Amino acid sequence: MFKTLKINKLKNLKIFIRIKKLMQIPKEIQNSIPFQYAADVKSGAIVTGLRIKQAVDRFYKLIDSADKKGYWLDHKKGFAVIRFFEKILKHTKGKSAGLPFILSPFQQFRFYNTYAWQTKNESGETIRLIRNVYVKIGKKNGKTAEEAGDGLFIMSFDNEEGAEVYIGATKEDQAKLCFNQAADFVNAIPVLKHLGFRTYQKEIKFLPKAAFMKPLGGDSKTQDGINSHKSTLDEYHAHKDDSVKENLESSSASRLQPLTTTITTAGTNVHGVCKNFEDSCINILEGVSEDDTFLIMIHDLDENDNWQDPANWIKANPNLGVTVSMDFLLKEYQKTVNQPSKIPNFQTKHLNMWVDAPTVWVESKYWDACMVPIQYQNFAKLGNCGALDLSSTTDLTAFANISEPDEKGFRDLDVWCFCPLDTIEKRSKEDRVPYKYWANLKRDNAKHPKDTFLIATPGNMVDYNIVFNKVVEITSERKTSHVEYDRKFSAGLITPLIEAGVELSPFTQTLMNYTSPTKEFERLIRSAKLRVGSNPILKWMLSGCVPIYDTNENVRIDKSKSTKRIDGIIASIMALAGTLSEETESSQSKYNDPSVEITF
């Protein structure tokens, strides 16, 4: 009983101290949106997940201990960035275009904390306390525009001469999304030009301070010579390693008060750098470790929440009803009902759930409906395209041939797989499938006993001479327009095929290149518009396919994540790509000249 009284007395003392500290803050500040957001989260008036509640608790604890730790709140600095958005920036897209950029309460809470907290360094100079910001938030919640605006603010109003602001991503094209939004602000808002902002193809300059903003990707030509004042790591979940992050952070060593902001949704690599970083942030939120230079805003569902209940979705989407609508989320959810392969994408991008377990891309019932006799006459009659997925000489190799669609939209698909004869027994045990049986199973239109679904070539390596003969035979017989191929492993086969008169086209192995044919291939299967015959290998391969998506819903089947060998499916998608026409546009434009200032 006495122990309980002592605990309650201590708790009441802490509340008293907090009230006393808050009373020292002017009433108008306490009534401001950042403080009201914290109070509403604390009371439950605003629905959030556990991690945001912990972030608010941490804010109050920092107020409690500020004097002791040598911290204080500079309200003028905290509200300066908020006023920059509201008084200067205007929306540039959609129905809000031209309207003032009014930050939502959760955004104001973040920016106020980032810029208001101050301390002194070892030289006695006043500096910003917050050095690292981690924001995990659902897609379409305004993070790109938010970061673009923050980048412009810190270039111009952070009293840093020669500030260098970088948007870092795995690919420069991804980094350009935020950069282009910042450029849109400058080009659409005359006052920004008046202040001294100028936009160029690869940088935005703020002339009065000799500051600039640039996109920086892991594939950028150079990452040397940078001296970052503000770094934004975009879609951190997609980063395979910390090379971009470490380069940006180490480059800021000479800056007085550098800032690194990491923004992301969840992803599918639970062992990757982003998840590891998030785990360290959660340790800070939970008090396991301490680092007051971190501001952490993790908007996600709680562990036991039903992800299919729309009432929980606001936890990962704090801008629900502003930049993202419930109608949009319900439509995205319906896609998962109709197409379960989209569940991981919905969970990671819209609910911020980390997903690791592979899911079935296309259920077998849809493929079974496609296992009808191939109309072989359609290849020559309608036109066709081939594709080679060569892999390595010790692995499976696949050659696919797909027809153009008939008048009802049906296509015919024919696939050959090749493997070394000497490794069939070993491969059967490893993959737990009957390679030997497949090597003796005659094709639907077999011309001789060795015309089987799996062609086992003599020796312990795939004999490319046999692959060569089959490609030449089929392309000549069916008048194939061309054969798509992956440059990797192609050196020993491509030259002979060219000399034999086979038209070849290299297929670039990028996510963007795979997106359209992958989506079309799935559509054909689900609508039973693909005739594949009785090929058992393709059915087995399809069951192991795992799709990966980027933030723009570009998709490809990932061999590294797939649970089975999928070479025949990859070859099929490549062949399908060869039948899909794409519009091309000239790259000759004044906008390709980085020295040209872009104005509208």
User: Do the domain assignments include residue 20?
Assistant: no
Domain stop point among 306, 325, 344 = 306
Domain stop point among 275, 306, 337 = 306
Residue 85's Cβ-side half-sphere holds a number of Cα atoms within 13 Å equal to: 19
For 19-71, how does the pLDDT look when each residue is reduced to its tens digit (9 = 90+)?
555 558 889 999 999 999 999 999 999 999 999 999 999 999 999 999 999 99
Q: Which domain holds residue 243?
A: 32-306
Together in a domain, 382 and 469: yes
User: Do the domain assignments include residue 514?
Assistant: yes
CATH number at residue 573: 3.30.420.240
* Residue 44 tokens, joined: 């439950």
Together in a domain, 157 and 226: yes
Q: Round to whole Å and give the CA distance between 133 and 401.
A: 51
H-assigned helices in 357-450: 364-370, 377-382, 424-431, 435-440
Task: Find, among 124, 77, 59, 85, the residue nearest to 259 by Cα.
Answer: 77
What confidence tier does 225 reach under pLDDT thresholds 50, 70, 90?
Answer: confident
Together in a domain, 68 and 168: yes
Q: Round to whole Å and give the CA distance between 315 and 487.
A: 45
For 534-561, how does the pLDDT look when each residue is reduced to its tens digit (9 = 90+)?
999 998 888 888 888 887 888 999 887 7
For 443-501, how does the pLDDT look when each residue is reduced to its tens digit (9 = 90+)?
999 888 889 999 999 988 889 999 999 999 999 999 999 999 988 877 788 899 999 99
Task: Say whether pLDDT at 342 is over 70.
Answer: yes
CATH number at residue 275: 3.40.50.300
Section 420-428 average pLDDT: 84
Together in a domain, 286 and 145: yes
User: Do the domain assignments include residue 348?
Assistant: no
User: Do the domain assignments include residue 416?
Assistant: yes
**pTM to 2 decimal places:** 0.66
Together in a domain, 294 and 387: no
**Residues in CB range of 280: below 8 A, 6 or more apart:** 289
Together in a domain, 288 and 387: no
* Residue-level pLDDT at 540: 87
Together in a domain, 376 and 242: no
For 120-155, how does the pLDDT look when each residue is reduced to its tens digit (9 = 90+)?
999 999 999 999 999 999 999 999 999 999 999 999
DSSP states of 206-254: EGGGTEEEEEEETTSS---S---SEEEEESGGG-SSSHHHHHHHHTTTT
* Residue-level pLDDT at 220: 60
User: Do the domain assignments include residue 347?
Assistant: no
**Bridge partners, 505 (sequence order):** 484
Together in a domain, 42 and 150: yes
Together in a domain, 269 and 391: no
Share of the chain above pLDDT 70, in %: 90
Q: Round to whole Å and give the CA distance between 315 and 319.
A: 10
**Bridge partners, 415 (sequence order):** 400
For 310-320, how does the pLDDT look when each residue is reduced to its tens digit (9 = 90+)?
999 999 999 99
* Residue-level pLDDT at 588: 41
* Residue-level pLDDT at 563: 67
What angle (nearest 5°) sits at the alpha carbon of residue 159, between those of residues 156 and 160? Answer: 85
Instruction: Determine the length of the chain.
Output: 600
Number of domains in the chain: 2
Higher pLDDT, 375 or 9: 375
User: Do the domain assignments include residue 204?
Assistant: yes
Task: Say whether pLDDT at 94 is over 90.
Answer: no
Q: Round to whole Å and give the CA distance between 287 and 555.
A: 39
* Residue 386 tokens, joined: 């081939």
Together in a domain, 375 and 287: no
Residue 77: how many other CB atoms lie within 10 Å: 19
What confidence tier does 363 reach under pLDDT thresholds 50, 70, 90?
Answer: confident
Q: Round to whole Å and give the CA distance between 357 and 359.
A: 6
Share of the chain above pLDDT 90, in %: 66
Contact predicate 115/81, CB 8 Å: yes
Task: Say whether pLDDT at 383 is over 60.
Answer: yes
Task: Find, among 155, 164, 153, 16, the residue nearest to 85 by Cα.
Answer: 153
Our separate counts of H helices and E strands in the chain read 22, 20
Together in a domain, 377 and 275: no
User: Do the domain assignments include residue 585?
Assistant: no
Question: How much is the mean pLDDT over the chain?
Answer: 88
Residue 198's Cβ-side half-sphere holds a number of Cα atoms within 13 Å equal to: 13
Q: Round to whole Å and give the CA distance between 581 and 566.
A: 25
Q: Round to whole Å and give the CA distance between 442 and 534.
A: 10
The distance from CA 445 to its chain's CA centroid, rounded to whole angstroms, is 44
User: Do the domain assignments include residue 73?
Assistant: yes
Task: Say whether pLDDT at 17 is over 60.
Answer: no
Q: Round to whole Å and give the CA distance between 299 and 37.
A: 14
Together in a domain, 63 and 189: yes
DSSP state for residue 460 in the 8-state scheme: S
Q: Round to whole Å and give the CA distance between 375 and 89.
A: 60
Domain stop point among 306, 334, 353 = 306
